[in-house]
Amino acid sequence: MEPGNVTQSSEFLLLGLSETPGQQPLLFGLFLCMYLITVLGNLLIILAVSSDSHLHTPMYFFLSNLSLVDICFTSTTIPKMLLNIQTQSKAITYAGCLTQMHFFILFGGVDDFILTVMAYDRYVAICHPLHYTVIMNSQLCRLFVLVSWIMSAVISLLQCLMVLDLSFCSDLEIPHFFCELKQVVQLACSDTFPNDIVMYFSAGLLGGGPLAGILYSYAKIMSSIQAIPSAQGKYKAFSTCASHLSVVFLFYGTSLGVYLGSVGTHSSQSSATASVMYTVVTPMLNPFIYSLRNKDIKRALERFLGR
């Protein structure tokens, strides 16, 4: 096949999770329900936090930002997938693919950084409780969120600019339900070595860096909890970060599972199926984890819905 530069009029084909016609209505109904639950659940968290003055604290400020990012994260991929199933079309324009790729990396990166900042917030609350309000002031909280967005935006733009320099062959089929960066780069006919270097560097910065920060924070937290003499004190301290720890395990566990599984099987289709866990299921479960395990959120939701 002769390589040729892809223009804005060119299209990629998203093969989706299944090409079997009989499974399309089931996939449409399933993903529509999961998307609506994700949007509604995270929106309720945002409204509950914003409407209750008792929740105007750093922890819930970060939680509401996480909920907003989760809504954006799923909205980057699922609506297009649902549209393609409904219209029986697999096409996505080149510009649309780049746009989807940009926002997917952006929101995924912000998600990573906010989870890290939330771990730091728990570290300060448990290890330095007397200085918590001084350290975690409103200016620092806003700065953390702003830096998260800026860093993610820079990395996302860099990745997309690197893709713009690639030349593609006539086979533009992506074995995924969205324009995943690695899958798009693999379709290129030109040299992808610079893209691979930037991709691995970005993965380390967006994934490895935040994960290291989370592990460090929780190592310090566990050390402080061990020093608490009473069992009740230990339980109370640990319960304040149980929800966040559950979300971290869910997000990073599924992400690493997809990565390691794809390396082992080399199957793009199985990787696409597994990626549903961290792109759809995790954002959908986050509101349930925080509302079921957090009495403050429960009370705020009851007051908000009882109006």
CA distance 307 to 295: 19
Torsions phi, psi of 89, nearest 5?
-125, 140
The average pLDDT across 180-208 equals: 88
CA distance 177 to 100: 11
CA distance 3 to 11: 15
Q: Read off the pLDDT band of 278 (50, 70, 90).
A: confident
Per-residue pLDDT at 264 exceeds 50: yes
Q: What residues contact 131, with CB distance under 8 A and at least 6 apart?
A: 124
CA distance 269 to 1: 23
Q: Could you report the per-residue pLDDT of 73-124, keeping only the tens digit for each?
A: 999 999 999 999 999 899 999 999 999 999 999 999 999 999 999 999 999 9
Lowest mean pLDDT among 35-39, 105-109, 300-304: 300-304
Per-residue pLDDT at 4 exceeds 60: no
CA distance 284 to 168: 35
36-71 core/surface letters (b: 16 or more CB in 10 A; e: else): ebbbebbebbbbbbeebeebebbbbbbbbbbbbbbb
The average pLDDT across 135-146 equals: 96
Summary mean pLDDT of the chain: 88
Helix (H, G, I), strand (E, B) or coil at 136: coil
71 with 273: CB under 8 angstroms?
no
114 with 69: CB under 8 angstroms?
yes
Q: Which amino acid, residue 272?
A: A
What local confidence, expressed as pLDDT, does residue 249 receive? 87
Per DSSP bridges, beta strands 91-93 and 173-174 are unpaired
The rounded percent of the chain whose pLDDT value lies above 90 is 53
Per-residue pLDDT at 140 exceeds 90: yes
117 with 144: CB under 8 angstroms?
yes
